[in-house]
Chains A and B, each alone.
Chain A
């Protein structure tokens, strides 16, 4: 800089500000070496200091020579604002807007009423000052970050179109099927770094972060929209970009989910593995791995994955998003969409434990299931509030159902008395929750579809009814389990008592005739109830049979068939009871009516309708008729003799 000899340099504001900005940036560079915690405090300080400097600069009229510095200070200050914000960035970047207005002010123009997009257009078209190009472009990158964070992709695309057209209109970015925004971002030439201005995060770095974030964000959008191949290619681009370990693991997890949805489980597993290799803290990847294995039917691997997940969750309580002192704007600040949150939902240890138990039970690994269920119940005892996630995505069932499942597992494992105790728990807990009679239910069932004026009230009433129905179901199921457990212990009388209790419990809900098929909202619940009633009747019937009370047994089986017409177990028992009462003709008739045709009907029965709750599966198995073959043989013999000798 030329300066006349002898004239002392006056302490001009511009120079003073430049020096101060430089000093602040220097202090930041020194501070960020002091570890994340110290750096975070320093960043907050810097945010204040840069803000104050900016305030001072804005205290003077906008002047072209001072604007490059001012825009740089805006850039630095906003970096700190974004980097230290605890929450998601929202709304407009007021600082950028003000900066643009100052630019227009210096050029003798104004744009107070314009939207930020229009303001950018005006500024980039009208301001031709070469000195302002670099800081404006940097600020534009920051604006893009802001817009990306609020998912305003179209605004970002528009802005970068403006930037590239301002640069050279001749060279249009190639677009052969490539993503437009990514192409624009890649083609954007980062302005050369000025001599006197220090940036707390380089524009090159910002550009790379933007590229990664834009690819990631669009990939997630495509994933949400179901355009899986597009999502896959975008996410792969994101995975090749600049980001932290944490984000890379997240991208790989999303890639894994995408591949899984595309029906490529092996690719999905590879991606998920990579996610875990990059960052083992990315535990959602592990739960996705379990899901993929379940899809593949590899139960061992699935259970291993779940077990590992549980262990990892136990050891590493979820850590808050860590502050990185090196880059104030990071991909994780720019990408937050609901789908990402749901993909990366961190399961609770209790949830994983339950999943383990449930999967074991479903796969018939009873001993393991018992272990896991007991662990799960212990976790519940420890502290329900912290352990149970209350959001919709939880895998946890209602607690009584978990109890019943545990009881079912215990029973299958031969620990009948434990199962009885557990059921007692359910019974005692639900005692006060069920109204004397569920008459309301029936009314509700009569006209469930009728739209009433007070829909909200009706909805509330309905949910209340459903809740009572649930309680009733659980309670009845608990008695049912107890009954079967006593059966296993050989205590016929005790078993009959429990089955009777179950049935009397169910009497609160009036039996629907076979003609009055329940429809509507509560259909599923009612079906479960009927199933319990059937199983209970069969159970009591078998016990009567054992005690030789054939008539009582016959009655129960008849009721059972009424409840569930055509049920093979009930029908078989009915035939047996009739046979034992020596009412062979009736028996044969029933046999022919219900049982002759289907032979492998058990499988069909399982497949029909909606699946019953997991806790009923063991009871269904127990209620199956055991000596089908011998009964069939004797009936067929009888029929043969009858046909030969009809008058005997």
Chain B
């Protein structure tokens, strides 16, 4: 190799598969002290790969006027030569003049190693920052925060009308020509600057990108490259692809940042990030290698290189101590490779230690000859590639056919369902009696329940005694749109009643309207933990005999309640309330109503059969005037007193009576339900009533204010939430809010008619009652029949009554026993053939039917819940 050039001034440039080494030499190549004073000469040497090393192909030179000392290569690169349209290597040379001015020469190198002077210009400062070559060939640079460039047309220095802090990229964009992408301080629009809450990138990070088209001398929208936010961190950018699609610039951009990340942007949006292995990335290049793979090559300030694969943004390889990295097709395989030139301490030839790789099949290292095995590997690789392509095609074809099949199946399914529906219609047309009959059955069942058949027992039974003083308190409250009238009964009297209800009758004589006011009746039980409210008409009273059992359990409950709450707590159970719409009454300005109590009075007969009699009692009168209402006399007062909600018992009852009640059974399969309580006390801002702690009042401002909740945990995983709310909207609001805090594996179920457990218990009682009814009625029939019979043995004695074991002691006794058995058998045979009178039978069937009805009803409710 002739004339080893000084190492420091060598520039390597890939061009057409060759490496051009450019350097400035002293003309005449004379050695010695005169070299610096000698005239400068730009020399080029073309090197090409052969036999495992770069060999010298040809060289050229260009004489630069002026001393070698004053001249220097600013930069070199490849750019379009506009007269011919060919991309040529270009070199920007600097030559100091005697004055402070510096002269710059832009040369392009033609194929015959001939340098052509493209343009020259003079500046009074040195080019340092962001110098870039672009098509023309031409050059742009940044100086004193301004962008200058040589116009490719006029060959004069121009400046762009922008203040900028750096140029991150310059290159060709389709339709826009040469475009410069730079960073400048954000210039906020007035509205943006004022708006403190502005979330725009520029407002947050304070800098922005700008695009400038050099040919058109205009600013471009820059957000199609990268979000402005990145203008603070980006150090180098490479635009991989840019095309106009429907008048929109679509781009793929890759950038490296000071935060040591490589970021891939698609149409201005970040699509992927790769953490870089070294600090301070300074530039990024790309290479398209075999298989159309795009490699992103990042150089770092420390001289390290790393390569990132674009498809997964993973670091594929990295090297240290790299002088420079060039990208071109050096081996002539048709795709690009990386040429890594390593730093060499020997300071010998630039191309002494190198490595060529595409991270695939091509792998050259200086000094090692791979020529032999390359073709074989190449062939294999290609075969593999072809196989994969073929397989891909087959896969796609398979996928398409599967999709077609699926569509076909869907179609068939639709046809089938349609035909089924048609068939059902056809069938239904012929026998459309069936569904209505079903419906009728349901309705009749319900109607029977609504109007229970009155007892056949004698109407003239002993007159039930009504105590003189049975009303403890009569009160009224106005809750929203409704009037609530409550009657508190004495406890002993209340316990003797069933099916209690109230009715309001207008006292004055208004001929125009009916005196009876329509109202809803409610009995609210606050003492019982669950089924907090039960409407009296729906409550099925268990038979008195069973009451014992039930009472027993109730006593237990009461005891518990006593422990927890105050005495007043039980009062709610004795209060009957009636709710009616207020506004029709207010039309009269002042109205007086009579409050009537209707109930069934129970009494116990000797045989234990329950008989009841309907009674109607006058409870008192209420006076309602608009003035009182305006004065707030009847309004409900709920106050928040530290951790309790204070309000009188009447107020609480009034609110509960006027509200809609919904009970939800909440069951969690895997997690405890503590969140409900924290939701009630936290988010809903509820506080419990001082009078009854298990009901809590919602103080949250807004629609839900005034809603009353009752949350009863039956186990850590199951509970019943009862809501008393003004409207369905409130209910949905509450439920919506609740569902967010519930463990998602929760099952929330609306309890329409009592919880399943309670109903099951009731069903058991009803079935028992049914059984008892049939037994008692049959035995009563038997006893009547017995009287009419002449019998041999003494009445009322049964074998089964005597202890059998004692009878079997001796032979005599066994004989006795046998006799008795014989007698009884005969008797029962006689009994079988008995007749019975009509009224007795009627009565009996009615009772049995009644009992069956009640159990049926519970079954129905159970099935619905």
Interface residues of A (CB under 8 A from B): 1-4, 7, 10-16, 32-33, 52, 55-56, 58-61, 63, 65-66, 190, 202, 204-205, 208, 240-246, 248, 278, 324, 326-327
Offer 19 A-B interface pairs, CB within 8 angstroms, sorted by A.
A1-B197, A4-B189, A7-B189, A10-B200, A10-B227, A13-B201, A16-B269, A32-B744, A59-B273, A60-B233, A61-B205, A202-B740, A208-B674, A242-B672, A242-B674, A243-B671, A244-B672, A248-B672, A278-B716
Bound-state Cα–Cα, A33 to B672, Å: 19
B208, closest chain A residue (CB):
A10
Interface SS of B by simple majority: mixed
Contact of B670 among A3, A61, A245 (CB under 8 A): A245
B678 at the A/B interface (Cβ < 8 Å)? yes
Question: How near does chain B come to A53, taking the closest CB pair, in angstroms?
Answer: 9
CB of B201 within 8 A of CB of A12, answer yes
CB of A324 within 8 A of CB of B670, answer yes
Question: How near does chain B come to A335, taking the closest CB pair, in angstroms?
Answer: 15
Which residues of B from 239 to 258 have beta carbons under 8 Å from A? Answer: 257
Q: Which 10 A-B pairs have the closest CB atoms?
A: A13-B229, A242-B674, A59-B261, A4-B191, A326-B744, A12-B201, A13-B227, A63-B204, A65-B204, A14-B199
User: Given A4-B191, A60-B233, A248-B716, do A204 and B741 touch, yes or no (CB 8 Å)?
Assistant: yes
CB of B672 within 8 A of CB of A10, answer no
CB of B678 within 8 A of CB of A56, answer no
User: Given A3-B191, A63-B204, do A15 and B199 touch, yes or no (CB 8 Å)?
Assistant: yes
A131, closest chain B residue (CB):
B197
Chain B residue contacts of A248, Cβ below 8 A: 672, 716
Chain A residue contacts of B741, Cβ below 8 A: 202, 204-205
Chain A residue contacts of B233, Cβ below 8 A: 59-61
What is the count of residue pairs linking A and B with beta-carbon distances less than 8 angstroms? 116
Question: How near does chain A come to B34, taking the closest CB pair, in angstroms?
Answer: 54
Contact of A240 among B201, B227, B257, B674 (CB under 8 A): B674
Question: How near does chain B come to A209, taking the closest CB pair, in angstroms?
Answer: 10
A54, closest chain B residue (CB):
B273
Bound-state Cα–Cα, A571 to B348, Å: 107
Chain B residue contacts of A66, Cβ below 8 A: 204
Bound-state Cα–Cα, A200 to B268, Å: 29
User: Given A1-B199, A65-B199, A65-B204, do A60 and B229 touch, yes or no (CB 8 Å)?
Assistant: yes
Chain A residue contacts of B745, Cβ below 8 A: 326
CB of A208 within 8 A of CB of B269, answer no
Question: How near does chain B come to A174, taking the closest CB pair, in angstroms?
Answer: 13
Chain B residue contacts of A32, Cβ below 8 A: 744
Chain A residue contacts of B717, Cβ below 8 A: 245, 278
CB of A326 within 8 A of CB of B201, answer no
Question: How near does chain B come to A334, taking the closest CB pair, in angstroms?
Answer: 15
CB of A59 within 8 A of CB of B259, answer yes
CB of B671 within 8 A of CB of A245, answer yes
CB of B205 within 8 A of CB of A60, answer yes
B270 at the A/B interface (Cβ < 8 Å)? yes
User: Given A59-B261, A204-B675, do A326 and B743 touch, yes or no (CB 8 Å)?
Assistant: yes
B103 at the A/B interface (Cβ < 8 Å)? no
Question: How near does chain A come to B667, taking the closest CB pair, in angstroms?
Answer: 12
Bound-state Cα–Cα, A52 to B741, Å: 29
Total contacting residues, chain B, CB less than 8 A? 44
Interface residues of B (CB under 8 A from A): 189, 191-192, 195, 197-201, 203-205, 223, 227-230, 232-233, 257, 259, 261, 263, 268-270, 272-273, 275, 670-672, 674-675, 678-679, 682, 716-717, 740-741, 743-745
Question: How near does chain A come to B415, taking the closest CB pair, in angstroms?
Answer: 30
9 additional A-B residue pairs with CB within 8 Å, beyond A66-B204, A208-B675? A13-B229, A52-B273, A55-B275, A60-B232, A245-B671, A248-B672, A278-B716, A324-B670, A326-B671
Contact of A61 among B232, B275, B671 (CB under 8 A): B232
CB of B199 within 8 A of CB of A12, answer yes
User: Given A1-B197, A326-B743, do A11 and B261 touch, yes or no (CB 8 Å)?
Assistant: no
Question: How near does chain A come to B123, taking the closest CB pair, in angstroms?
Answer: 35
Chain A residue contacts of B743, Cβ below 8 A: 326-327
B229, closest chain A residue (CB):
A13
CB of A11 within 8 A of CB of B268, answer yes
Question: How near does chain B come to A465, taking the closest CB pair, in angstroms?
Answer: 54
Bound-state Cα–Cα, A322 to B126, Å: 70
Bound-state Cα–Cα, A388 to B400, Å: 56
Chain A residue contacts of B744, Cβ below 8 A: 32-33, 326
Chain A residue contacts of B198, Cβ below 8 A: 65
Bound-state Cα–Cα, A273 to B81, Å: 91
Chain A residue contacts of B670, Cβ below 8 A: 244-246, 324, 326
Bound-state Cα–Cα, A59 to B268, Å: 16
CB of B273 within 8 A of CB of A55, answer yes
CB of A60 within 8 A of CB of B199, answer no
Chain A residue contacts of B269, Cβ below 8 A: 11, 16
Chain B residue contacts of A245, Cβ below 8 A: 670-671, 717
Chain B residue contacts of A59, Cβ below 8 A: 230, 233, 257, 259, 261, 263, 273
Bound-state Cα–Cα, A52 to B270, Å: 11
Chain A residue contacts of B678, Cβ below 8 A: 204, 208
A66, closest chain B residue (CB):
B204
Question: How near does chain A come to B806, taking the closest CB pair, in angstroms?
Answer: 34
Question: How near does chain A come to B114, taking the closest CB pair, in angstroms?
Answer: 47
Question: How near does chain B come to A221, taking the closest CB pair, in angstroms?
Answer: 22
B200, closest chain A residue (CB):
A12
A52, closest chain B residue (CB):
B273
CB of B671 within 8 A of CB of A10, answer no
A326, closest chain B residue (CB):
B744
Chain A residue contacts of B682, Cβ below 8 A: 190, 204
